[in-house]
Amino acid sequence: MWLYYNFFQPVLRQCERKVIPTKSGIYRIRRKQDVARTPLERLLEKENLDPGAMQGLLDLYQRTNPRALRDTIYRKLHALAATTA
């Protein structure tokens, strides 16, 4: 599952949070998120990443079929659920 979540599931990260008072005395929180990116994309933006590790991750990403990986995950989850019922 880590391959699916780290390579193919985009994530929003909160980059700003403001507390805004209203006239009625109620406080509202306004949140801003950055652009949705996968954890792999965020990791590859870092400059201090080992080139060998980066190339290994990119090779693994290229070899992985997201649809087949997702189908395998769900097949195994259904099999696990069937054993507990």
* Rounded (10°) CA dihedral 40, 41, 42, 47: 100
Is pLDDT at 85 greater than 80 in this prediction?
no
State pLDDT tens for residues 43-79. 998 878 888 999 999 999 999 999 999 999 999 999 9
The set of residues, in sequence order, having a beta carbon less than 8 Å from that of 16 and lying 6+ positions away, is: 31, 32
Q: Which amino acid type is present at position 33?
A: Q
- Return all residues near 40 (Cβ < 8 A) that are at least 6 apart: 6, 7, 57, 61
**pLDDT (0 to 100) of residue 58:** 94
> How high is the pLDDT of residue 64?
95
pLDDT recorded at residue 84: 82
Binned at pLDDT 50, 70 and 90, residue 24 comes out as: very high
Average pLDDT over the chain reads 93
Alpha helical stretches, state H, 1-65: 2-8, 39-45, 51-63
Domain boundary assignment for the chain: 2-84
